[in-house]
Amino acid sequence: MTARAQLDTLMTICTHFTLERRHVALYDPAFSRLDQEGLSALGFNVQLTNKLGKYDLAIPALLYMPHCSLKLQENFFRHNWVRAKLEKLLMISNDLALYADSIAAHNLQVTFPCTARLLPHLHSRKLPRCHPLPEAFNDMSFQYVAPGTLPPDSASDFWDLEPELCLGVSSDVEAIISSTPSGVVDATHPCRFFPRPEQRHVTGVRTGDSA
């Protein structure tokens, strides 16, 4: 139910922003053939390659990432570490400040430098609680960088990054990415959306040897 609620929200976003579903590319390493066929039938463009969050950001952009790992978001930030892109980004994702609170400050700066540097400049508005399915969107927020608040391009202490650490995404993390002609990008962490065909289970009971 959680995954379906997140998918319903993605479809609502597409409707609200007048995004054609054929321009929304979906990816999840856990997708089964049934998932792929079902999402394709809904009009989405199902992808086969996991880029680990390293997608080129269009301008402006909407990033939709419920329950994605901090590693995936860090990869996305690093790949688009340009002032002009980040100031045109709206994120609907888990509150990054909550992630940061669970990590020692030094470790955050070393392992997730882009996230650590962006946090002081992020504005966050918590999403209303979804009472029927609270786990579907818990800790979710609208997050964005207000134009003109990031340091200038000449601020090397902010924009210069050390060589990338190994920030790959583990096999249990998935991503949805949508790129549209209007310059909107959506990303999310989907689960499997479609129920599997019912399987029959046979249980054998051993009663012991007869007397």
pLDDT one digit per residue (tens) for the chain, 211 residues? 777 888 888 898 889 888 888 877 777 777 788 988 999 999 988 878 888 888 787 778 888 888 788 888 899 899 999 999 999 998 888 899 988 888 888 889 999 999 999 999 999 988 777 667 667 677 888 999 988 899 999 999 999 998 876 544 444 444 344 444 444 444 444 444 454 443 333 323 322 333 4
- H/E element holding 141? strand 140-145
Task: State the Cα–Cα distance between residues 3 and 149, nearest whole angstrom.
Answer: 35
Q: Which amino acid is at 75?
A: N
State yes or no: cis peptide before 120, omega within 30 of 0: no
Beta bridge partners of 62: 90
- Tell me if 185 sits within 8 A of 191, measured CB to CB: no
Say what the pLDDT of residue 156 is. Answer: 93
- pTM beyond 0.75, yes or no: no
- Tell me if 75 sits within 8 A of 145, measured CB to CB: no
Helix extents (H) in the chain: 2-16, 33-41, 70-79, 83-86, 96-101, 105-111, 113-118, 156-159
Say what the pLDDT of residue 81 is. Answer: 95
Could you tell me which residues come within 8 angstroms of residue 165 by beta carbon, excluding any fewer than 6 positions away? 110, 111
Q: Taking the alpha carbons of 141, 147, 149, 151 in that order, is the dihedral positive or negative?
A: positive
Could you tell me which residues come within 8 angstroms of residue 15 by beta carbon, excluding any fewer than 6 positions away? none
